[in-house]
Amino acid sequence: MIAFVSGPVAALAPDTAVVEVGGIGMAVQCTPGTLSGLRVGQQARLATSLVVREDSLTLYGFADDDERQTFELLQTASGVGPRLAQAMLAVHSPDALRRAFASGDEKALTAVPGIGKKGAQKLLLELKDRLGAPVGSAAAAVGAPVTQGWRDQLHAALVGLGYATREADEAVAAVTPRAEAALAEGAQPQVGSLLRAALQTLNRAR
């Protein structure tokens, strides 16, 4: 297993980072929150999980070992593959997921694209005791701060999760007041909390 990759970031896409390791560009699938902390040309170290299929080898990357472990634990539930596990981590931090499962928060799970009411109920039953107890504060659950281009980051994240460009545009517009309020207070908009809010607006519209 490839436990981590470390090296300069060669390229970034809406759902992928390319990290140069020993002269080889390793394509790593990442959540928007993880990608928001990377910059082309700068050093990066990503915890990784290799998913092997008959026709593919896919490397998933995470900001830390906690995210990777949560990603792997989520897949122990029936019907949860790497894509859905990554989508859950795109919307919620590991500790936010632990809180959701510990408290039976069905609404938090249905905020994830691809999880409906029945699916959320099934996941709560299967994973309640597997993720462990929450360890961080609520403030830590909102994701990494975005220092520039939050609109582009958020729009790319929504498109990467399967929403149409028009839907992504509308969701970005809906959460813009929240981001501008943060800027007015001298804080940086945070992609994790904005993404969650945007997904909630999209779910209400459907």
Domain at 130, CATH number: 1.10.150.20
Instruction: Determine the Cα–Cα distance for residues 138 and 202; give it in Å rounded to an integer.
Output: 23
CATH number of the domain encompassing residue 183:
1.10.8
- Residue 102's domain comprises 69-140
Regarding whether 132 and 79 lie in a shared domain, the answer is: yes
What tens digit of pLDDT does each residue of 96-124 get?
899 899 889 998 899 888 899 999 999 99
Q: Are residues 118 and 151 both part of a single domain?
A: no
Mean pLDDT for the chain overall: 84
Q: How far apart are the first and last CA of the chain?
A: 40
Question: Which of 62, 80, 98 lies at the terminal end of a domain, its last residue?
Answer: 62
Single out the residue in 106, 140, 174 at which a domain terminates.
Answer: 140
pLDDT band of residue 17 (cuts 50, 70, 90) is very high
Q: Which CATH number do you get for residue 11? A: 2.40.50.140
- Given a cut of 80, is residue 2 above it in pLDDT? yes
Percent of the chain with pLDDT over 70: 91
- Tell me if 174 sits within 8 A of 201, measured CB to CB: yes
Q: Same domain for 200 and 182?
A: yes
Same domain, yes or no: 87 and 134: yes
Is the confidence at residue 149, as pLDDT, over 70? no
Q: Into how many domains does the chain fold?
A: 3
pLDDT for 204: 65
**100 and 92 Cβ atoms separated by less than 8 Å:** yes
Question: Whole-model pTM?
Answer: 0.67
pLDDT score, position 123: 94
Among 118, 140, 162, the domain-final residue is 140
Residue with tokens 């149409």: 164
Q: Cα–Cα–Cα angle for 118, 122, 124, nearest 5°?
A: 115
- Mark whether 77 and 132 lie in a shared domain: yes
Q: What are the tokens at 20?
A: 């140069």
